[in-house]
Structures are given as structure tokens and as C-alpha cells.
Amino acid sequence: MALDMAFFEDMENRIPKGKVRTRFAPSPTGYMHVGNLRTALYTWLIARHNGGDFILRIEDTDQGRLVEGAVDVIYKTMAECGLTHDEGPDVGGPVGPYIQTERRGLYSKYAELLVEKGAAYYCFCEKAESEEESGDFNHAADPCRNLSQEEIAVNLSAGKSYVIRQKIPTGQTTFHDVIFGDITVENETLDDQVLLKSDGLPTYNFANVVDDHLMGITHVVRGSEYLSSAPKYNLLYEAFGWNIPTYVHCSPVMRDAQNKMSKRHGDPSYEDLIAKGYLTPAVLNYVALLGWSPKGEIAEQEIFSLDELTQVFDIAGISKSPAIFDIAKLDHFNAVYLRAMESAAFHKVAEPYIRQSVKNPKIDTAMIAPLLQARLETLAEIPEKVDFFDTLPDYGTDLYINKKSKTDEDSSLEILTAYLPVLEALDAWNHDTLYQSMVDYAAEHELKNAKLMWPVRIAVAGKTVTPGGAVEICHILGKDESLRRIRIGIEKLSNR
């Protein structure tokens, strides 16, 4: 059957040219792991740094691994991270469709074109699909590799099931990667991989080459685990007579020196990190530095906004070495970002976490938030830090013993009993009034401020470590609740 060459010419004419074009092409498998997010970020940065286009393509040809709602997770994550795409399934573009299963009619045409060029062949051998996908196949022993045109025609006429395999030539293949340099392999080590499966869908290794070319992709960013497949990609590009894109193979993100990060082993996805109280800008900043480092005057800089990364990101800064995901380092980044937030913005992100344990609507979360901002690494720490505002915990009187404040149970009982009437008599109940009252009382009775404030703090909070001290906590709790708690403290100390 003669091929319609006008179709291929038309497809070539659609390809945008003259600028950098990159793509992020995730499989919709349910979540965005850290390595995937890094690939998306680097790909986006290369496009934006060079004034190019960033394309989102959904690679859903592996139907067995699809997860319902996973595409929405991809859109949501990209939007939250500010990784806007110029073309994609939801926004369209000149070289759509941008979902692989919607392009399935293309792949058989290009596979047949390869057969005509002598770079692929029909294979009628009976093999399980898993074997086809694995590529575990010795091309020298494949009886279909050298079938005559007549034999092929007979099999096709008989309706025999087939796959189309790449015909690996003899010799060597050399490809270039920006990070790893030139790599040469012996072609005899490469298998005749399946390009088109028996169900008519392409394998990943074929579809990504066809799609990258037809979408005008100039830079392909992917994990270094694909280095072993790169020679086969090169051979496909060469067989078609297409330009080979710039390869950027990134070393893996590791949990430790031996193990790659894996959802299966409980390593966090992007969504997990956000749920654990990390800020998106902090996560992006940290992920950017997992395998990339700035050069020159900014070599020591760690904190970068997305706009700053766009300005300074350079492929040359990507390392060959695997990057170890260090949660303590991410904690540090997140703390820096939390402290740098405007107070109103911090209150907005902190409020849901405060309300997890502070259910009392009379307590103003806007008064609690400023006490937390400089004391956190993640937002998830908040509920435990502020739970005492809602309910006074059951505590032992040993908390009143504090060497630094020079307090013990006896002195605390004496001070609380004497100071309670002073608080009861206060007309105004605000931060300044409370502070002045405590400072004046301590001075009048020749006490260090801490000797008074420590017992008050323990009485109203029931904890030794709190955001804010006695003044702030009494202010937030209000007069009635503060006095009630101090009376409970006096009773505890009296009955010990």
C-alpha cells in the first residue's frame, strides 16, 4: 500500500520553528513526585529563560497505569507552581492534539513510513504484550526481521496480529547529551524495540520521538534512566531524516546514597509536601537546587523566586551527580519563606492550621498568627503549638519550676495568689495594659519580670513552650478565661 507522502509534508509544514520549544510530558498516574516536578521546572525554565514555548503533553498510551483524576492533579500542580504552558490539551495550539491517545492515528503512519525506509519491520511472532514492552528480545534471532514482501503481504492478508519493531542496524551509535557529553554504544547491544503494539498504540519510546519532532521540540529534558534508550531514539531520528533535539538527561533524585525516591517507599509527592505544611515557592526553590547550582556572582545564593530562576537558569549548571532529597534542608528553605511573608498572607495560610485545634470562634486567629511566624519550619507544626488556646491541658505543677526564671512551686503559688487581684481590677484588657501591669507589679515587689511572667504563662497555657509569653496569651484568651485558668493554677499548687 502506497504511503500518502502529502500527509507527511503537511505535518512537517505545521511544525513551529525558530525558537526554543520544550515540553513536559507526564503520564497521568495519580501524583507528581519530586523528580517529575523537577523535570517540569527545568523544562519550563529552559523555555522561559530563552524566550521560547513550553508545551504540556499528556502521555497516556500505557492504559494499564492510568489513574482517574490524575490529569487534574497535573493541571492543579502546574498552576499552583506557576509553571504556565503555552500549548496543551486545555489551551490548544498549532500542533495538537496534545494527548497521545488522541494522536493514535499518527503513529501507525509513521511506523509504516519507517518500514518503507527499511528502519522497521512487521513482526508476527506470538509474544505477550509484556515481552513486547520489555524489549527483552534478541533481534538476531527474530525470524520476522528478514521476511520477504510476499510473506509479509500473506500474513497481513490473513489478518495475523503483528507489532512493528525498530530494525537496529549494525555498527555503532553516538549521541550527545548536554550533561553527559558524547556517548557511543555498539548497536549489537540494542534490541529491536517494539514501536507499534498489536493494539495499534505506540510504545512510549516511539511516541515520544514522533511527538517531539512534530511539536518542534528543541530540548528534551528527562531522567538519566533514559540514557540507555537514547541511541535508539537517535537511530529513529536519523532514519526519518529529522533533526535531533538537545538532550538533557538529569541524574535521579535520591532518598539516600543508595535509593531513589519512590512513592512506593513512602517518599513524598508534591501534594504530600503541601499537605505537610510546606509552601509551594519553598518547594520549587529547593527542587530547583536538587541537581542544579548557580554560577558566578550568585554561586552562593540559595533563595530564588521563580522569576529570578527564570533569569539565571543555565543548563550548564545541571550536575551529573545524583541529588539527595534532604527534608531538613527543605525545612530550612520553608522557614525562610514563612518568615519573609507579609503578615496578612501568613495569617491566611496559617489560619486553617490554627483552626485545626483552636475551635473556639471567640479566639481571634489574627492575634495568634504573628506569634507563630518566626517559630515555624512548616505550617503542620501549628496545631500542636496552639492547642492550649482552646483547652487548658492537664499539667503537673512541676512546670512551675524554672531555674532561669528562679521560680518554684512555692514562689509561683505566692506570686499568682498575690497578683490575681491586680489582674481582676484591670479595666482595660489589651497587650499594652497587661504588659505594663506585669512590669509595674514586678518592679514594685522587687521581682525580675520573669519571676512573675513564668508562673502566669504556665497557669494560662499549661505548657512550657508556647508561641508568645504571658502577656500575649492573656490578651488572646481574654480576661475571663485568663483569670479562670490562673485560679486553676492556684488550686493545683495549693493541693499538690
Active site members: 263
Q: What is the dihedral of CA 274, 278, 280, 282, to 10 degrees?
A: -150
Closest CA to 41 of 72, 82, 70, 92: 82
Neighbours of 177 (CB within 10 A): 18
212 within 8 A of 245, measured Cβ to Cβ = yes
Question: Quick one: cell of 44?
Answer: 519550563
Q: Which amino acid is at 244?
A: I
One DSSP character per residue, 48-91 reads: HHTT-EEEE-B----GGG--TTHHHHHHHHHHHHT---SBBTTT
Q: What is the dihedral of CA 338, 40, 253, 222, to 10 degrees?
A: -170
Distance CA 347, CA 350 (A): 5
Question: Quick one: cell of 158?
Answer: 490473513
Q: What is the dihedral of CA 386, 390, 396, 397, to 10 degrees?
A: 90
Closest CA to 195 of 187, 209, 206: 206
Three-state DSSP class for 349? Answer: helix
One DSSP character per residue, 192-221 reads: --EEE-TTSPBPHHHHHHHHHHHTT--EEE
Residue with cell 507579609: 342
Distance CA 50, CA 313 (A): 10
How many helices (H) does the chain have, and how many strands (E)?
A: 20, 11
Question: Quick one: cell of 20?
Answer: 526554543
Question: Quick one: cell of 50?
Answer: 530563552
